[in-house]
Structure formats: structure tokens, C-alpha cells
Amino acid sequence: MIELVRRRSAMRASALVIAAGVSFGAAAVATPASAAPPVAGVATARPAPPAPSTSTGYGGAVSSVDAEASRIGLEVLRKGGNAADAAVATAAALGVTEPYSAGIGGGGYFVHFDAETGEVTTVDGRETAPAAMESDAFIDPATGSPYSFANAVSSGLSVGVPGTVATWEAALEEYGTESLKEMLKPSILLATRGFRVDETFAAQTAANQARFAQFPATAELFLPGGAPPEVGSTFRNPDLAKTLREIALRGTDAFYEGVIAEEIAALVQDPITTDDAELPAYPGFMTADDLAGYEVLLQDPTHVEYRGLDVFGMAPSSSGGTTVGESLNILENFELSPDDPGQALHLYLEATAHAFADRNAYVGDPAFVDVPTETLLSQEFADSRACEIDPEQASVRPVAPGDLDATGCEVAAAAASVDQGMSTTHLSVVDRWGNAVAYTLTIEQTGGSGMTVPDRGFLLNNELTDFSFVPNPDDPNIVEPGKRPRSSMSPTIVLDDGEVRYVVGSPGGSTIITTVVQILLNRIDLGMDLAEAVAAPRATQRNTVATLAEADFIAEYADDLAPYGQGLSATGEIGAAATIEVDDDGLMIAVAEPERRGGGTGLVVEPAD
């Protein structure tokens, strides 16, 4: 089932003025009149209290990559909000503190479990291609060849119509108890007062300094004084506070119609660069009409059974649910034991390689492509793929996609995987009633397109680079007007006898899929507790010749995998998960990364003794 959801009219939005500093569920806290008006950039930071990566207790739980965001979500739960309310408030805060990974200039996928009805439903807030964008948009007319990926990213050509703000509205209207106005208040305050710059934020800024410097609005905001902000300083974003305040006041029409929409479209069509800019900053196709016409989709989740558990994920346009589901269905054919981690990990790498072959061959936006979702999620199809796997020897990769009509181990032509951006962020929430949300949101690359909307305080995404650049009609992921690019975001909710057991998700481009599968493998099959499952070193096999692995994974498992012919190539961090487990007695374990991406924060409302 897929249902289009139109945005609420601005006439129904609240007419209350939102103060610069406010908090959920309380009277407005105005900025003191004697205080100087906030300015973008940095200042002396206030000390930050310790932020645990893992917390255990009752009454609700929030897990995200950022301490400020997790605390805001927890406060919503503490004051009576439900999981959807807390998820939106946490996501809005991540747009402030993690502006290179998420924000109102991007999109994402929202998976929701209703404890009262037992239903899992989803909101597809993926960005869309503009109506005027054709399949050859990434082909250079001067050469007839595709633009380079690096040049296409930092341009108007890469920007999809954002879906995040519409996702928040739909999530609150469908599942929440609070208004968007209330859920934006903490982030307005956070953007106004600022947050402490940590090592990750400073490093991400420095890594993007060269391209940020070529876009004046981005340089003004994120390179104060021409350099990245210093660790320990306070970063303020009053322009973003102003933008969020307008959305809180007027509803989503403030973003999708009127001045903000016109400003977004103008920047996409005519990127503003410095006089000495080296980036070509190709113009894009987005218009204000594209923004006004944006709609989220309410649709059914994907579903598979694994070891007696019900695993729900995101259906296409994301490939996350089908590929996680197929990988687990393949693994269902094998007994995996913590006593033989080498074979278990060998089979994990084989399962994801085969599932990625099918992802690449068959998954795209179902509004434009006949995606065989039911087949990809069927145990029969997974069984036919499992029979191609040698339990004792690695396959030659890339492997072929499966024959959708196969009853045995038939072989087709191989096709390698195409990667996507390595940024994005994820949050997980469970409330006191047992409702749950897994929400992955993104602006794609770290820093998105690199283009900040002038005087608005947010970066635009580069999601359209997730499309295939070459317009092959047999490719399910070619550019088409109004189409959603294929994604790997994999927000996942696992139920045990109708109640939440795990909420899982991660950033990391196409490694999101393998990260989610590996965490579930670690927890369900390899005897790790959830904190161990998240912290364990990772490897990713996405039907590529090389299997990429973190250094600690190579050190710990290379010898175990060598007899199976599984070679490993070193890479940096893989993923940055945010997870929650609920045990049979209702005890909640909120687990975020202890180290990756600077470490995350898992919090509970009532900590256990």
C-alpha cells in the first residue's frame, strides 16, 4: 500500500509567534533583552556534561549520534510525548548539531511501530528529481561522457527536492501527539544558543574547507574568519533558528511555498560561487513548483522472519529493507555459531554480496520501475541464492544477480555495486507505551552539495548523485522527472511476538545495509549483547571485488577468514549506529557508538540501578 500525503495548509498552522529561546512543554524562555543578538560562528563554549553511549532503564529511550539531540528527544519523552514526537524533535536537533549529515535541506525514511495496533508503517520522505530533469542530465553535452562525480556533487545538478520537513509534518499528524511548532522549539533554542564544537565537527569542516570556501554563504557560516571553528568553541546558527521559527509559525508551507522555496530554487538554478571558484557548480533544474508539489508517501514496510523474529524495514524507493531482508533470508539457511566466527562472517559476506547483486539489478523507485519486492523478500528466492554459496569458499565477485524465476542455482551476468555518499545520520526511539521509531535522515555526502541557502542557515542535499549517471534503459536507477533515487538507508524495527525487541539503523551510504545486517548477526547469532554488537569491528561486502574492513576487524578476523578465501582491504570507520533493545521485562538498553564518529549518546528516561 502506498498513499500520497499532501502537506497541511498553512491556514491550519499555528499563528503564535515563536520566541528565540523556548522549550517543549513550558512557557517561552526569551533571550535576555540585555544580551547581544546571536551571531553565526563561534564563541566561548559552555562545558558539556558527560554523554553515555549506552544507558539502561525504563520509561522510554533515545539513541543518536549526538548528545544534544538525544537529550532533546529524551526530554520530550519525559514530558509525555510519544516516540514519534521525540523522533521529530531529535531529528530537528540533529539538523542543528549535525548540519553536514542531516537537516531541512535533505530527506529520509521514517519507520514507526504502533504498540496498540501492532502495525508497522513508514513515511518515505526521499528527495525527488525536478520535473524538468531528464535521464541524460549527468552527461556533459560537450564530451558526451558523464560528469565526474566530484564535480557533480558540488552543484545545483545534484540537489533533489527536500523531503525532511514534510516527513516531520506527516509523522506528527499520523503518529504524534504534539504539534510541529512544539517539536521545533528546542532546536530553535539550540541553534540560537549554540553547541560545543567537537573533534568530529571540526574535522568534517576541515575536510570540506576547500569546497565550502567556494560558496560564499557556506564559507560565511561554517568557516568563520576563513577557517574551521576550533574544538571547544560554541557554534551558533541564528539564520537556521530564524528559518525554523518561520516553519514553526506558518507550518510547512513556509518551506515549500513562498520566499524560502523561491530562494532554494534560485540557488539550485544559479549556484552562487566566489569569483575565483574552481568548481564548475553546474546549474540544476529545480523550480518553486517542484517544491510546492512535493509529497511524502505513506507505505507498508518490508517484512521477513529471521530466527523467529519479525524484521521490518523500508520498502523501495529505499533498497535497505529488501537488501537487509534478503541477506537475512539467505543466512536463515545456515547455522551460525559464536564458536566458529570465521564461517559465520564468511557466510555474512557471501549473503550480502548476493543480495547486493539483486539490489543493483532490480531495485529503483517503484513509481517508475516494476520492482519485484515480493520476490526479493521471499524465502524461496533467498534459498535459491543460498544454494549458490559455498560454505567453505568465497565466491568470485562480482556475483551475478539471481533469476527471479529460478528454482535452482541459475547464473546470470555479474554486475558490480555502485556506492553512494558516506554521511547521513540515524536515530532510534522507544517510548513508555512500547511505540518505536527508526528514522534515518540525510543530505547525502558529508556537507551535501556544499551550498548553503543564503541567510537561511542550512545546506542543500546532493541526493541526485545517487542516480546512475549513464542513462541505460535497463538500469532501474536512471534519472527520470519526479523520480526518487535509490537509497540504502535501512531504518529497521524487529518485533518479538508482537512487541519491540530491537530498533536499529546507521549512516554510511551503501554500507548502511551491511552495518544493520552485521549488528543483527552479532546480537542474534554470535552471542554478543547489544553494546558489544554495535562496538564490534565491521566489514562490508557489497558485491565488489574488494571486501572493505575496519583495521580492528582485519586484526581480529583476517586469520579466521583466510581459509575461506575472504581477502580484506582496509578502510576507515564503517557506519555510526544508533540502536535500542527492549527485553522481556521491558528493560530498555539504548546503545549508540562508543567511538565511531566521535561517539553517540544512548539515554533512558528512568535509569536502572
Question: Rounded to the nearest 5°, which phi and psi values hold at 231?
Answer: -60, 135
Question: Environment class of residue 472 by beta-carbon count within 10 Å: exposed (0-12), middle (13-18) or buried (19+)?
Answer: exposed
Sequence letter at residue 276: D
For 43, 64, 298, 302, 424, the CA distances from 594, given in Å and listed in that order, are 28, 11, 34, 30, 18
> CA 484 to CA 486: how far, in whole Å?
6
> CA 185 to CA 390: how far, in whole Å?
55
DSSP-assigned beta bridge partners for residue 64: 601
> CA 407 to CA 404: how far, in whole Å?
9
> CA 603 to CA 260: how far, in whole Å?
35
Sign, CA dihedral 179-182-188-194, equals negative
- Taking a C-beta distance cutoff of 8 angstroms, is the pair 400, 410 a contact? no
- Taking a C-beta distance cutoff of 8 angstroms, is the pair 578, 505 a contact? yes
> CA 307 to CA 332: how far, in whole Å?
7
> CA 130 to CA 135: how far, in whole Å?
11
> CA 432 to CA 317: how far, in whole Å?
31
Sequence letter at residue 573: E
CA neighbor of 209 nearest in space, from 224, 189, 194:
224
CA angle (98 as vertex; 573, 453 as ends), nearest 5? 125
Question: 583476517: which residue's cell?
Answer: 558
Instruction: Give the long-range contacts of residues 408-412, CB within 8 A, separation 24 or more.
Output: 408/384, 409/384, 410/384
> CA 403 to CA 372: how far, in whole Å?
11
How remote is the C-alpha of 160 from its chain's centroid? 15
> CA 480 to CA 253: how far, in whole Å?
26
> How many other C-beta atoms lie within 10 A of the C-beta of residue 549?
27
Please indicate whether residue 143 is annotated as part of the active site. no
Q: Does a cis peptide bond (omega within 30 degrees of 0) precede residue 391?
A: no
> CA 221 to CA 237: how far, in whole Å?
8
DSSP-assigned beta bridge partners for residue 493: 312, 503
Question: 578476523: which residue's cell?
Answer: 557
> CA 253 to CA 287: how far, in whole Å?
15
- Taking a C-beta distance cutoff of 8 angstroms, is the pair 410, 403 a contact? yes
Of 424, 446, 544, 601, which is the active-site residue?
Answer: 424
Quick one: cell of 199?
573533534
- Taking a C-beta distance cutoff of 8 angstroms, is the pair 93, 150 a contact? no
The secondary element (H helix, E strand) that includes residue 376 is helix 373-376
- Taking a C-beta distance cutoff of 8 angstroms, is the pair 106, 440 a contact? no
- The catalytic residues are 424
